[in-house]
Amino acid sequence: MDTAGSLTTSTVSHKRQKMIQQIIITFILAVGSLTMIIPFWWMVSTSFDMEAIFEFIMPPRFWPGEPSWSPFYMSFNNVPMLRYMMNTFLLAAGNIVVSIFSAICAGYALSKIKFAGRQVVLVLALSTLMIPAEVTMVPRFFLFFRLGLVDSYLAFWLPAFGYVFGTFFVKQFMDTIPDSLRESARMDGASELRVALQIYMPLCGALIATLVVLIFLGTWNDFMWPMLILTTPRNYTVQLGMAMFSMNQGGANSVALPAVRLAITTVSIIPVLILYLFFQRFIVESIALSGIKQ
């Protein structure tokens, strides 16, 4: 009886402790979620608020006092943001194609092809990740200036061939795929490029989706490199357009218009959210598959 009673007490105590842990974890996650959601919701709310057209409303409120689409109309009327968004989409598409192609080919070579110095190449490539991009930005500018590629999108696409993070990501993922697939294809006369693109690449769907989101997000939010390399306003990206709007280079009414600035910020975030929601399932799948070993 005493043993049964002690076991019951221990079980109840364990369940209670587990429930308390779950409550604490849920509370922490809820606070973290609110910390992320509240600024975003305030931004969207203020972008529709005509009462905030000239100054911020204090204390902040989370529902527009006078809802209107006018801030969005004014944002697109003062600066050609639609063109800047299309420019950025074009840049991102080129970066995605070039980066993923090079990452698949290089990652496949480092993972499946046995050649002398393979580990040295991998270590040297990874060591470049420790160098801040700002350190190489000026030398890159002078390089593309000498090549005559200033104000050209090639200055974005050519460096994408050296996508080291994607190469390492693909290499680690392909290490989990059996070598027997490559050996069978090679016996049938397939070239290494065909094996990489037609056999291994389709197996990396979740990984590619993750890289698409990361590359698109990096291109969409990039400011420093476009500011250095692009000189013609018609070639500007979203971030340069937003900066030009804030500095009153896009129109006489763009100063001290918080609702308009937040409207243009809201519009610039929408493509990123849509892309992430579309690829969210694949990102979770790639994280799950990364723990599977051959």
pLDDT of residue 8: 66
Band (pLDDT 50/70/90 cuts) for residue 291 is: very low
Band (pLDDT 50/70/90 cuts) for residue 248 is: low
**Mean per-residue pLDDT for 193-199?**
87
Q: What is the mean pLDDT of the chain?
A: 82
Question: Which H, E and C letters describe the chain, residue by residue?
Answer: CHHHHHHHHHHHHHHHHHHHHHHHHHHHHHHHHHHHHHHHHHHHHHHCEHHHCCCCCCCCCCCCCCECCHHHHHHHHHCCHHHHHHHHHHHHHHHHHHHHHHHHHHHHHHHHCCCCCHHHHHHHHHHHHHCCHHHHHHHHHHHHHHCCCCCCCHHHHCHHHHCHHHHHHHHHHHCCCCCHHHHHHHHCCCCHHHHHHHHHHHHHHHHHHHHHHHHHHHHHHCCHHHHHHCCCHHHCCHHHHHHHHHCCCCCCCCCCCHHHHHHHHHHHHHHHHHHHHHHHHHHHHHHHHCCCCC
Nearest to 259 by CA among 116, 66, 90, 32: 66
pLDDT of residue 7: 52
Band (pLDDT 50/70/90 cuts) for residue 176 is: confident
> Whole-angstrom Cα distance, residue 210 to residue 288?
12
pLDDT of residue 294: 42
pLDDT tens per residue across span 250-285? 444 445 577 778 888 888 888 888 888 887 777 666
Residue 22 has pLDDT above 60, yes or no: yes
Give Rg (Cα) of the chain.
26
Dihedral over Cα of 13, 19, 21, 24: its sign: negative
Q: What is the pTM of this model?
A: 0.80
pLDDT tens per residue across span 120-175? 988 998 888 888 888 888 899 999 999 999 999 999 999 999 899 999 989 988 88
> Whole-angstrom Cα distance, residue 140 to residue 149?
11
pLDDT tens per residue across span 75-123? 777 778 889 999 999 999 999 999 999 999 999 999 888 888 888 988 9
Band (pLDDT 50/70/90 cuts) for residue 57 is: low
> Whole-angstrom Cα distance, residue 85 to residue 286?
29
Band (pLDDT 50/70/90 cuts) for residue 177 is: confident
Residue 289 has pLDDT above 80, yes or no: no
Pick among 1.10.357.10, 1.10.3720.10, 2.60.120.680, 3.30.110.30: CATH of 71-289: 1.10.3720.10
% residues pLDDT > 70 (the chain):
86
Per-residue CA distances from 294 to 90, 171, 208, 209, 282 (Å):
38, 14, 20, 22, 20
pLDDT of residue 197: 87
pLDDT of residue 293: 44
pLDDT tens per residue across span 148-157? 999 999 999 9
Residue 219 has pLDDT above 60, yes or no: yes
The residue assigned the tokens 């200055």 is 155
Two tokens at 9?
Answer: 């007490």
